[in-house]
Amino acid sequence: MAPSASRRLDRLVQALQRLPGVGARSASRMAYHLLQHDRDGALQLAQALQAAAEGIRHCALCHTFSEEEVCPTCADPSRDTGLLCVVETPADQAALERTGAYRGRYFVLMGRLSPLDGIGPDHIGVRPLLERLQAQPPVREVILATNFTAEGEATAHVVGELARALGLKATRLARGVPVGSELEYVDLGTIAHALADRR
Amino acid sequence: MAPSASRRLDRLVQALQRLPGVGARSASRMAYHLLQHDRDGALQLAQALQAAAEGIRHCALCHTFSEEEVCPTCADPSRDTGLLCVVETPADQAALERTGAYRGRYFVLMGRLSPLDGIGPDHIGVRPLLERLQAQPPVREVILATNFTAEGEATAHVVGELARALGLKATRLARGVPVGSELEYVDLGTIAHALADRR
């Protein structure tokens, strides 16, 4: 966009660059598209951003995004309060929920340990997790469902140690061959784990 | 994001998908980033979107985005009103301005002809361009500066015919070898044009 042809346009292009993965070129393209073809979309997005930024907080129990003090999953009385599944993000929680195979509660860390990026236990929800583990009704098993990446494994290790220090059982999602995959195309580390954990 | 954990969150993820090039996954990632790490950015973006959608219109003369009836470039009395450079987008206009080599006026089509996508002369600014070409002060030369793509060439052809039908001189930006490039690596079509247009 021509700089200073319009200050509002410059400010919009600047503000769009606050979105992750959006640089100067895509921000210009987005601003241009919205102004030329979709002003309704621009206004809807403005309202949605404001409503979300002002109305979404963290669930007091599981720490996920919620409009209420306690999110619908934590407020569901039919769920097993003794099982606590620890995940990195709401998207991970959604993936587990879609399986329909889990009826316990969750704790969403909202991040993962990443010492190389300066992200330590205090930057993710370890302190509220500690409070959660010691709260009533008691948790009898912590299921570590962080991702199977280097950071996710490190996070699982730290959270598992915390849980065990409190005398709680801590389990990790099983590693193994994905359903539907052919051994020929599965990486060696996964096959090694599947062998070691055979049942 | 977990569907229905928060309606505001779902609406935000939906609204972000109105941005070009943003699908469900990036929209989730953007919403998550803004809510977790940059609520100020979300509010700033909301304000910038609203200010732009409500306050930006098209310049009455050159058709580019403008907050005023007439944009600063068209209002500049030092520019040659007899030269009219026709470009596809404000970004193209900005590229020409950065050269410092042009002191005439512009007309921004805000698009290009693309019959395959159903974009004909009426969808881009051909009608306001016709009015512009016949307005006072008179234009003596139309410089066709659309892109050197198939659509841009087609657009240049149509606009050039219009200008010539009105008895105006129409010229096209020169095609040739880019400054700083080695012939070995320049595509054949460009070299052929550079040969034909040698001076």
Q: How confident is the model at residue B5 (pLDDT cuts 50, 70, 90)?
A: low
The DSSP result for B123-167, as a single string, is TTTHHHHHHHHHSSSPP-EEEE---SSHHHHHHHHHHHHHHHHTT
* Beta carbons of B39 and A53 less than 8 Å apart: yes
Is residue A116 exposed (0-12), middle (13-18) or buried (19+ Cβ within 10 Å)? exposed
Strand, helix or coil for residue A158: helix
Q: At what angle do helices B24-37 and B7-16 cross, to 10 degrees?
A: 120
Please state, in angstroms and rounded to a whole number, the distance separating the CA atoms of residues A84 and B188: 65
> Is 80 exceeded by the pLDDT of residue B51?
yes
Q: What does pLDDT average to over chain A?
A: 88
Quick check: B36 pLDDT over 90?
no
C-beta atoms of A33 and B20 within 8 A: yes
Out of B14, B49, B56, the one facing A46 most closely (by C-beta) is: B49
Mean pLDDT of A170-182: 88
Burial of A171 (0-12, 13-18, 19+ CB in 10 A): middle
Asked if A18's CB is within 8 angstroms of B45's CB, the reply is yes
CATH class name, domain B58-172: alpha beta
Distance CA B154, CA B147 (A): 10
Residue A81 CA to chain centroid, in angstroms? 21
DSSP-based three-state secondary structure for B185: helix
* DSSP character string of B91-110: HHHHHHHHHT---EEEEE-S
pLDDT at A181: 85
Q: Give the pLDDT score at A95.
A: 86
A30-72 pLDDT, tens per residue?
999 999 889 999 999 999 999 999 999 999 898 889 999 999 9
- What percent of chain B shows pLDDT beyond 70? 97
Q: Residue B100 corresponds to which tokens in the numbers above?
A: 């410092």
Q: Look up residue B99 and give its amino acid.
A: T
Q: What is the pLDDT, as a whole number, of residue B157?
A: 92
Q: Which member of B29, B35, B49 has the closest CB to residue A12?
A: B49
- CA distance to partner chain A, nearest, from residue B96 (Å): 10
Closest alpha carbon within chain B to A28: B91
ipTM of the complex: 0.77
pLDDT band at B114 (very low <50, low <70, confident <90, very high): confident
In chain A, the percentage of residues whose pLDDT exceeds 70 is 97
Pick B46's closest partner by Cβ from A31, A49, A72.
Answer: A49
What tens digit of pLDDT does each residue of B7-30 get?
Answer: 899 999 999 999 999 999 899 999
Closest chain A CA to residue B72: A5
The answer to whether residue B3 scores a pLDDT higher than 60 is: no
- Compute the CA torsion angle B31, B34, B35, B39 (nearest 10 deg): -140
What pLDDT is recorded for position B80?
93
Higher-pLDDT residue of A48 and B183 is A48
Q: What number is the average pLDDT over the span A17-31?
A: 93
pLDDT value at B92 more than 50? yes
Specify the pLDDT at position A5: 66
Q: Please state the rounded mean pLDDT for residues A98-116.
A: 87
Q: Identify the residue with better confidence: B198 or A60.
A: A60
Query: A13: nearest CA in chain B?
Result: B48
**In this structure, which long-range contacts are made by residues A96-100, counting pairs with CB atoms below 8 Å and at least 24 apart in sequence?**
A96/A145, A97/A73, A97/B2
pTM: 0.76
What percentage of residues in chain B have a pLDDT greater than 90? 52
Binary contact (A12, B51; C-beta < 8 A): yes
A103-127: average pLDDT: 83
Q: In terms of CA atoms, which chain A residue is nearest residue B47?
A: A46
Q: Long-range contact list for A171-178, CB < 8 A, 24+ apart?
A: A171/A141, A171/A142, A171/A143, A171/A144, A172/A143, A172/A144, A173/A143, A173/A144, A173/A145, A173/A148, A175/A148
| Cβ–Cβ gap A91/B28 under 8 Å | yes
Query: For the residues B62-66, what does the mean pLDDT come to?
Result: 90
The domain locations on chain B are 7-55, 58-172
Put simply, the answer to whether B5 touches A65 (Cβ < 8 Å) is yes
Sign of CA dihedral A44, A49, A55, A56: positive
Check B41 against A15: CB less than 8 A apart.
yes
**Placement of tokens 């693309």 in the chain:** B114
Output DSSP code: residue B116.
Answer: G
Q: How far apart are alpha carbons B171 and B150 in whole angstroms?
A: 18
Mean pLDDT, rounded, of chain B: 88
User: What mean pLDDT do residues B172-186 have?
Assistant: 86
Two structure tokens written together for B9: 């969150």
Q: Mean pLDDT throughout B43-69?
A: 93
Confidence band (pLDDT; 50, 70, 90) for A145? very high
The SS3 of residue A78 is coil
Asked whether residue B73 carries a pLDDT value surpassing 60, the answer given is yes
Tens-digit pLDDT profile for residues A61-102:
988 899 999 999 999 999 999 999 999 988 888 888 888 889
From B180's Cα to the closest Cα of chain A, the distance in A is 24
Architecture of domain A7-55: Orthogonal Bundle (1.10)
Burial of A67 (0-12, 13-18, 19+ CB in 10 A): middle
pLDDT reported for residue A2? 44
